[in-house]
Chain A
Amino acid sequence: MRSKFGLYLHVPFCASKCRYCDFYSYPPSAGEMDVYVDALCRCMAGWAADAAGETADTVYLGGGTPSLLGAERLSKIIEKARTCFSLTPDAEITVECNPDSMTDALLDGLRRAGVNRLSVGVQSAHDDELALLGRRHTFAEAAEAIGHARTHGFDNLSLDLMYGLPGQTAARFLKSVDALLEFHPEHLSCYGLKLEPGTPMGRENPTLPDDDAQADLYLALCARLRAADYEHYEISNWARPGRRSRHNSKYWDLTPYLGLGPGAHSLWRGKRFAYPRDTGRFLAGGAPEPEEETPDFPAWAEYLMLALRTADGISGAAFSERFGMDFAPFEKRLRDLSASGLTEKTANGWRLTEPGFLVSNSIINYVIQ
C-alpha cells in the first residue's frame, strides 16, 4: 500500500432517530454502549496484525451519534486505535457530534484524546425545520455547542446543512447558510433531503421543492459559498483552503480505508467489504462480508465515477496509466457535455461544473456507457 489509509469507526447509536434518517443507528439499551466499545476495541485488535506495516493518517468516528458515547468511551476507542494501528502524529481525527451532547466534559475529553476535527450536525438555522426533521436541538443550542467547541480550541469544524426541505424557499435556505457562515466553519457538508422509504418522513411523503427548485437552491448555495471563499471540492462538500476532509477524500480517490463496526464499509487491499448492519452479530465477533458485485461497474468505471464527484476531476493520463485504457472515448463524451455547460476542461483532464454536479449520476452513466 503506497498511500496512508483511513480508519473509520462506526457508532450505531443515537439518542433518538431523526425523522429522515435511514442509516443504521438506534437508541442504545442500558449497558449496551460499554459492551459495544469493548467489542469495537477487540475488533481493532483483531485487525492490528493485518494492518501492521501500514500507516493511517486519518481516523473518523461516525454514526449514528459518536458523541453520545461520552468522553470516556471515545477516549478509550481512540487510545485503542493508537495501540492497534500506526497513526501519523498529525493524523486527522474527526468525531461526529450532535449539538445536544457537546458538553464541556465531552469537548475537554476529546481534546485530550487528540481529536482535532469535529463534524457537527446543524442542518438548519430555523427551529421549525429542525423540528420537522426530528432533530434534538434548536438552532440556539447548536450555536452554543459550536461556541463551546471553539472555546475548547477546536479549530477545524465541519458543519452539516440540509436543503430541499418541504416548503423551503431560497431566501429561507440562504438565511440558514448565512447563519452557519457566521461560525466561520472550516468545512461544510450540504445534502439535499431525500425521502427514504421506511422513515417517518418517507411515510408522510411531504411535497419537496421540485427538481428545478432544488437545483436553484443548490446553485444559490454554491454561489454564496464561493463568495465566502470556500472551495467546492466535492459535490456536497466545501472547505476553506487546506481544510478539505482528508478522510472523506480517500473515498473519492480510491485510497484504502478500513471501516469497523456494524454497517461500516472498507476498501482494503483492493477489496470492498462491509460489516452487516447488525450490532448483535458484530458483538459476537461476526466477520465483514464482501460487497455485492456490480458487474456493470468495473474498476475503471468506479474510478471515473468517484473522480468526477470531485472538483479535481479526472486526469486522462492518470486514468490511462492506472487501467491501460484509452481515455479518448470518455473525453469525447465529456467534451460533448461542455457545450451544455455541464463539464469543463482542467489542466490535465475534465471535471464537472456545479450544474454538472447536480446531474452527476446521468453524466457518469453517459460517460461510462
Chain B
Amino acid sequence: MKKQKNIRNFSIIAHIDHGKSTLADRLLEQCEAVTQREMEEQLLDNMDLERERGITIKARAVTMDYKADDGETYQINLIDTPGHVDFNYEVSRSLAACEGAVLVVDASQGVEAQTLANTYLALDHNLEILPVFNKIDLPAADPKKAKQEVEDIIGLPSMDAPEISAKMGTNIRAVMEDIVANIPAPEGDETAPLRALIFDSQYDPYVGVIVLMRLMEGTIKPGMKVKMMATGAEFQVLECGYLRPLSMEPAPMLRAGEVGYFTASIKNVKDTRVGDTVTGVDEPAAEALPGYRPARPMVYCGIYTEDGSKYPDLRDALEKLQLNDAALSFEPESSVALGFGFRCGFLGMLHMEIIQERLEREFNLDLVTTLPSVIYEIIKTDGTTVYVDNPHDYPSPDVIDEAREPYVKASIIAPPDFVGNIMPMCQERRGVFKDMQYLDTNLVELHYEMPLNEIIYDFFDALKAKTKGYASLDYEMSDYRKSDLVKIDMLLNGDQVDALSFIAHREKAYGRARRICEKLKENIPRQLFEVPVQAAIGGKVIARETVKAMRKDVLAKCYGGDITRKKKLLEKQKEGKKKMRSLGTVQLPTEAFMAVLKLDEE
C-alpha cells in the first residue's frame, strides 16, 4: 500500500515507430519488474497480431515499484494506449486514468503528425507531458533540433528533457526520475464513495472478466458489492490487486489514486464497458465519472466461412472473441450465394480487419466477407424509421420518404505540402470543407464533414499513401443527413447475387458498379456459356460486362488407350469446381468475392 504522494500514473504517447513499446520494455527493466530471462521484446503488446502489425490493440496496464534517487519507493503505473482512430475512445479513457504522459520523440525525425495529435489528446485530459528524445544512438539523431521543434511547435519546455536510446538502454533512469519528479501524484478522497474508471476489461476462462480500473475516489476490496453505473450490473468483488508484468498480484484493498484490477465471476465483458464507473452498492457515488460512451458499431459486414460446414466453428469463434471485445456484435444471417454466416458490427475498418484476421489466424477459418456497410437511416412513407446496415434489408424506393446516411467530423493533421493532395481526395469522397488552421509553419489541421460511408472503404489507407504516412486522421460521428442513396444489385446470368449488393450515393453508384462488373469479369472463369455480369438499380441495368464463353479445354490425347490419364485430368478439373460456389447456373470462385472487396485498394 502506497500513500498517494508515492504513486505516479502515466501513459506513453508517440508518433508511430518513434519507440513507444521499446521504451515501455526498458522502464519495466529499470524497475526490475521483470527479469532479463522473462523479458520478451515489447512485453506489453502481448497479442501476436499486435506485434506483427506494430500496433497496440487493447489497452494494458502494469504496476511497477521504483526506488528513486530520493530514497523513496514509488508505485509507477504505466497504462498503454492503442494507436488507431478506430480505438480513439479507448485511448481517451486510458488517458483519463493518468496524471501525466511521456511523449516519445524520435530525435532523428522530430515532431510528426501523430506527435502533435497525441499531445493535443493528452492536453485535453490535462495531463502533464514529459518529452523524451529517443534514438540518440542513430547517426542521424539531432536531439537539439528535435527539442527546438517541440518547443516551437508544441510549446513544451524540452531543453532539459532526457535524451535516450530505448534500444540500447541509454539514460532510461533519467526518464524514471523525470516521471517521479514531474508527474503529479494522484489526488482523490479515499473516504469518499468508490468511483473507479474502467479503462479495459479482459475475459479470462478461469476467473471470468478481469476489470482494469483507475480508482479516482474511495477504496475497493474483496467481498464488496459493486455496481457498474452505466450498465447497472452488480457484482461481488472476489479479488482485487495489481497488474504485474507477468502476473496478477492480489491485494487486500486498492485505494484512490491506484491502478489495478478486480474480478467478480463476471461472464461477459458487455457488463463492464470501457469508460463506465464502478461504485459501491452500499455506499454509491452520487455521480458517475464523466465521459462514458457506449461502444457502438459503426461498420457492418457479413462474415462467412469458405467451407459452409464450418459455420458452427465460426459461431464459436465469434462468441469467444466477443468475450473480450464488447464492441464486436454479430447475429446470424444467410445468403443464397454464401450460405450461413453472421452480420458483424465493428468500431471501424481496422477493428473489422483485426477481427477477420484473428478469426483466420487463431481459429484457423477461411473466411469470405461481404462489402462493409454503414448504418443508414430510412424514413418510410408510413412515417416509421428503420435503420439498415445490410443492403438486403434496404426498403424498396417507393416506400422511402427520405434516406439518410451518417456523417462524421473528420480532422486531418498533415504537413502543409500535402494539403494539395488531401483536399481533392476529400472532395472526391463528398467531403464538405469546414476550415483549415496552421498549427505551426510545419503542420496544418483540416476539418471536413464527410459521409462515414466514404471513409470506411479505404480513406485511411489512401490518406497515408497520399501523404507518405505523415497525415493523421481522427473522426467522430456527427449526425445523419439526407442523401440520394440507391441500392445496387449485381446480377450474374440474370440471377441476383445477394452477397454483392451494396448501398451507395447515386453519384458514386455508376462508377462503383462499373468497377465491380469489371472485377467480376476478370475473376469469373469462363463457363460453357456466355455470362452477362450486370449491375442494376431497381430493374434498370446501369453497367454490364460479359464473361465470354469458354472456347477450349485441354484436349489431351487418349494415347494408346490410356483412359485413366484422361479420367484423372477430368477429376482434377472437377476438384477445382468443388471449390467454387454455384450461383444458379454460374460457378463463382471465392476469389471473385474477394476481388470485389479489394476494389479500392488499387
Residues of A that sit less than 8 Å from B by CB: 8, 10, 23, 62, 191-192, 194, 211-212, 214-215, 218, 235-236, 250-252, 257, 259, 263-267, 272, 274, 291-292, 294, 296-297, 302, 305-306, 309, 337, 339-340, 342, 355, 357-366, 369
Contact across chains for B555 and A365 when beta carbons are under 8 A apart:
no
- The dominant DSSP class at the A interface is mixed
B438-446, B536-544, B557-565 - interface stretch: B557-565
Besides A263-B560, A264-B561, 11 more A-B contacts (Cβ < 8 Å) are A215-B551, A218-B552, A236-B557, A251-B558, A251-B561, A274-B562, A291-B564, A340-B528, A340-B549, A357-B555, A361-B569
Name the residue of chain A whose CB is nearest to the CB of B526.
Answer: A211
Say yes or no: is B568 at the interface (Cβ < 8 Å to chain A): yes
The smallest beta-carbon distance between B461 and chain A, in angstroms, is: 35
Name the residue of chain A whose CB is nearest to the CB of B528.
Answer: A362
Using A10-B560, A292-B564, A340-B528 as known contacts, say yes or no to A297 and B571 having CB atoms under 8 A apart.
yes
The smallest beta-carbon distance between A279 and chain B, in angstroms, is: 15
Contact across chains for B571 and A211 when beta carbons are under 8 A apart:
no
Using A211-B551, A305-B570 as known contacts, say yes or no to A194 and B561 having CB atoms under 8 A apart.
no
Contact across chains for B555 and A360 when beta carbons are under 8 A apart:
yes
Say yes or no: is B574 at the interface (Cβ < 8 Å to chain A): yes
The smallest beta-carbon distance between B492 and chain A, in angstroms, is: 16
How far apart are the CA atoms of A257 and B567 in the complex, in Å?
18
The smallest beta-carbon distance between B501 and chain A, in angstroms, is: 28
Set of chain B residues within 8 Å of A302, measured between Cβ atoms: 563, 567
How far apart are the CA atoms of A173 and B507 in the complex, in Å?
51
Using A342-B528, A366-B528 as known contacts, say yes or no to A251 and B563 having CB atoms under 8 A apart.
yes
Interface residues of B in 550-586 (CB under 8 A from A): 550-564, 566-571, 573-574, 577
Contact across chains for A214 and B571 when beta carbons are under 8 A apart:
no
Set of chain A residues within 8 Å of B562, measured between Cβ atoms: 265, 274
The smallest beta-carbon distance between B5 and chain A, in angstroms, is: 77
Contact across chains for A265 and B573 when beta carbons are under 8 A apart:
no
Contact across chains for B557 and A191 when beta carbons are under 8 A apart:
yes
Name the residue of chain A whose CB is nearest to the CB of B527.
Answer: A362
How far apart are the CA atoms of A214 and B557 in the complex, in Å?
16
Contact across chains for B552 and A358 when beta carbons are under 8 A apart:
yes
The smallest beta-carbon distance between A334 and chain B, in angstroms, is: 12
Residues of B that sit less than 8 Å from A by CB: 527-530, 549-564, 566-571, 573-574, 577
Q: Which single member of B529, B558, B564 contacts A309 (CB below 8 Å)?
A: B558
Name the residue of chain B whose CB is nearest to the CB of A258.
Answer: B561
Contact across chains for A215 and B560 when beta carbons are under 8 A apart:
no
How far apart are the CA atoms of A263 and B561 in the complex, in Å?
10
Contact across chains for A355 and B551 when beta carbons are under 8 A apart:
yes
Q: How many A-B residue pairs have CB under 8 A?
A: 103
How far apart are the CA atoms of A53 and B376 in the complex, in Å?
82
The smallest beta-carbon distance between B574 and chain A, in angstroms, is: 5
Name the residue of chain A whose CB is nearest to the CB of B575.
Answer: A296
Set of chain A residues within 8 Å of B556, measured between Cβ atoms: 194
Set of chain A residues within 8 Å of B553, measured between Cβ atoms: 358-362
How far apart are the CA atoms of A297 and B563 in the complex, in Å?
11
Contact across chains for A296 and B574 when beta carbons are under 8 A apart:
yes
Using A218-B552, A358-B552 as known contacts, say yes or no to A62 and B570 having CB atoms under 8 A apart.
no
Name the residue of chain B whose CB is nearest to the CB of A296.
Answer: B571
How far apart are the CA atoms of A361 and B552 in the complex, in Å?
9
How far apart are the CA atoms of A305 and B552 in the complex, in Å?
17
Contact across chains for B555 and A257 when beta carbons are under 8 A apart:
no
The smallest beta-carbon distance between B531 and chain A, in angstroms, is: 11
The smallest beta-carbon distance between B585 and chain A, in angstroms, is: 8
Contact across chains for A337 and B551 when beta carbons are under 8 A apart:
no
* 10 sample A-B contacts, Cβ–Cβ < 8 Å, listed by A number: A259-B561, A265-B561, A265-B562, A267-B563, A297-B570, A302-B563, A306-B563, A355-B551, A362-B528, A369-B574
Which 3 pairs show the lowest CB-CB distances between chains A and B? A215-B551, A361-B553, A294-B567
How far apart are the CA atoms of A340 and B527 in the complex, in Å?
11
Contact across chains for A215 and B552 when beta carbons are under 8 A apart:
yes
Set of chain A residues within 8 Å of B559, measured between Cβ atoms: 23
The smallest beta-carbon distance between B582 and chain A, in angstroms, is: 10
How far apart are the CA atoms of A211 and B525 in the complex, in Å?
13
Contact across chains for B563 and A272 when beta carbons are under 8 A apart:
yes
Set of chain A residues within 8 Å of B571, measured between Cβ atoms: 294, 296-297
Contact across chains for A257 and B570 when beta carbons are under 8 A apart:
no
Set of chain A residues within 8 Å of B528, measured between Cβ atoms: 337, 340, 342, 359, 362-363, 366
Name the residue of chain B whose CB is nearest to the CB of A250.
Answer: B561
Contact across chains for A364 and B570 when beta carbons are under 8 A apart:
yes
Set of chain A residues within 8 Å of B557, measured between Cβ atoms: 191, 236
How far apart are the CA atoms of A14 and B164 in the complex, in Å?
76
Contact across chains for A305 and B560 when beta carbons are under 8 A apart:
no
The smallest beta-carbon distance between B533 and chain A, in angstroms, is: 17
Name the residue of chain B whose CB is nearest to the CB of A216.
Answer: B551
The smallest beta-carbon distance between A131 and chain B, in angstroms, is: 22
Contact across chains for B564 and A365 when beta carbons are under 8 A apart:
no
Using A297-B570, A358-B551 as known contacts, say yes or no to A365 and B577 having CB atoms under 8 A apart.
yes
Set of chain B residues within 8 Å of A266, measured between Cβ atoms: 561
How far apart are the CA atoms of A79 and B556 in the complex, in Å?
33
Name the residue of chain B whose CB is nearest to the CB of A234.
Answer: B558
Set of chain B residues within 8 Å of A263, measured between Cβ atoms: 560
The smallest beta-carbon distance between B556 and chain A, in angstroms, is: 7
Contact across chains for A8 and B561 when beta carbons are under 8 A apart:
yes
Contact across chains for B551 and A359 when beta carbons are under 8 A apart:
yes
Set of chain B residues within 8 Å of A10, measured between Cβ atoms: 560
Name the residue of chain B whose CB is nearest to the CB of A218.
Answer: B552
The smallest beta-carbon distance between A47 and chain B, in angstroms, is: 16
Contact across chains for B568 and A214 when beta carbons are under 8 A apart:
no
Set of chain A residues within 8 Å of B558, measured between Cβ atoms: 251-252, 309
The smallest beta-carbon distance between B550 and chain A, in angstroms, is: 6
How far apart are the CA atoms of A257 and B552 in the complex, in Å?
30
The smallest beta-carbon distance between A114 and chain B, in angstroms, is: 21
How far apart are the CA atoms of A272 and B528 in the complex, in Å?
31
Using A294-B571, A297-B571, A365-B577 as known contacts, say yes or no to A192 and B563 having CB atoms under 8 A apart.
no
The smallest beta-carbon distance between A306 and chain B, in angstroms, is: 7
Contact across chains for A212 and B551 when beta carbons are under 8 A apart:
yes
Using A236-B557, A297-B570, A365-B574 as known contacts, say yes or no to A265 and B552 having CB atoms under 8 A apart.
no
The smallest beta-carbon distance between B564 and chain A, in angstroms, is: 4
Contact across chains for A194 and B551 when beta carbons are under 8 A apart:
no
The smallest beta-carbon distance between B571 and chain A, in angstroms, is: 5
Contact across chains for B564 and A236 when beta carbons are under 8 A apart:
no
The smallest beta-carbon distance between A7 and chain B, in angstroms, is: 11
How far apart are the CA atoms of A90 and B556 in the complex, in Å?
31
How far apart are the CA atoms of A8 and B411 in the complex, in Å?
80
The smallest beta-carbon distance between A365 and chain B, in angstroms, is: 5
Contact across chains for A359 and B552 when beta carbons are under 8 A apart:
yes
A192, A292, A361, A364 — which one has the most chain B CB atoms within 10 A of its CB?
A361
Q: Which single member of A62, A264, A265, A365 contacts B563 (CB below 8 Å)?
A: A265
The smallest beta-carbon distance between A275 and chain B, in angstroms, is: 11
Set of chain B residues within 8 Å of A267, measured between Cβ atoms: 561, 563
Name the residue of chain B whose CB is nearest to the CB of A263.
Answer: B560
Set of chain A residues within 8 Å of B550, measured between Cβ atoms: 211, 359, 362
How far apart are the CA atoms of A347 and B560 in the complex, in Å?
30
Set of chain A residues within 8 Å of B567, measured between Cβ atoms: 294, 297, 302, 305
Set of chain B residues within 8 Å of A252, measured between Cβ atoms: 558
